[in-house]
Chain A
């Protein structure tokens, strides 16, 4: 078992203990989450990190971010100095002020997801130059929720996210409308995750 540093020790929290193997396993989970949108799956390589970053969001951070990436944090995350230190130490990522310059954006709660328009959307020629959002949430379920369709989904799938900002699904609708431009979202609870790439659309009537 890994010992977390006590809050006042001033030490940096550890990251992956076996980076090559853990990041592989973690990436596989993230890749499957985006290739089968909406489907809730367990994340096995969870990482304890300073508040308010949850263990699955921390796993995604350590798996995808490094010295070549830019990271944006919402106000709640930015307020925790220890978290910024953790990100800088483990990834070397540049923490940027402007969401439109971020390759990865971390949102502390699905209750307050910013308008997706604020982030990098990519261009028609380079739609890949867009932000991936990692949004922390409390609960994900496929038993109820919004009906989704698109590549990666055999017929349709329900995704319930709680809590959730009122405007979120409207944002998803307009995000998908500008395909291939747009952002991709990964929702993370303390244990599970689900992907919502720009290619996913709301089933008609949903």
Chain B
């Protein structure tokens, strides 16, 4: 920082750069300070670890090891055999990474598409807004799962199509949230103040609006990932995602549920992993949203204002508010 040259060291030492990266980090750290955030991240990391490291330890997931639904501990390994006599353990270890990669790609697509559409709709207004929001409405008019199923049923099951389909169903939500947030921010006095200097709209958006959208964007990322994982796994379960005989947690649950009474692990193991992953990502997104509530400067402007406005009002709450909220979780 060149500013150091002209200012005393004392100040430079405690100067936090308020860049976007810095605030994202602060928000994440805030989330990790909550119990919910810690548990959420832990659960997510455990499942992600199993999904990506699993293949290194897995035997051949399509090899046959005896009769169907063999009890655990036999030829088929610690978790027994599946509907065709393959090792449940090997298939569980190999069956997660595709879901994760596909979900991550779909989430990325949804976030990029949705946030661009949302911000453009908020800023262009008028015709662009109408077109974008109509499209959003239309896409929301078909349930996500049904929409992707419809695409897959005709074109056939391809990973890229799952990504595009899931991305398309998640993008409208992102667009809605970001459009609302951008509109909200642009109504604030500090944005108007900049407009009163004659600063061009493009600069206003880049310097003042986009940084304020960071919080909703991060919450959306985690939330959309969570939904994408569910959708992708559901598609596999219905037989339209990953195709047999490739190992996949969703596929496994479907294949092995007829043998629940003989070997419960063929269903239970992938179900537990999927459940843990979904709960983990969801808890983490919840923790980010909450971190925003309690964090000071990095926080969402809306909430900051609500909190500080009570300071101006003649009521004597400020005391209560802060004292109380700091204590909780």
| A, B from the same assembly | no
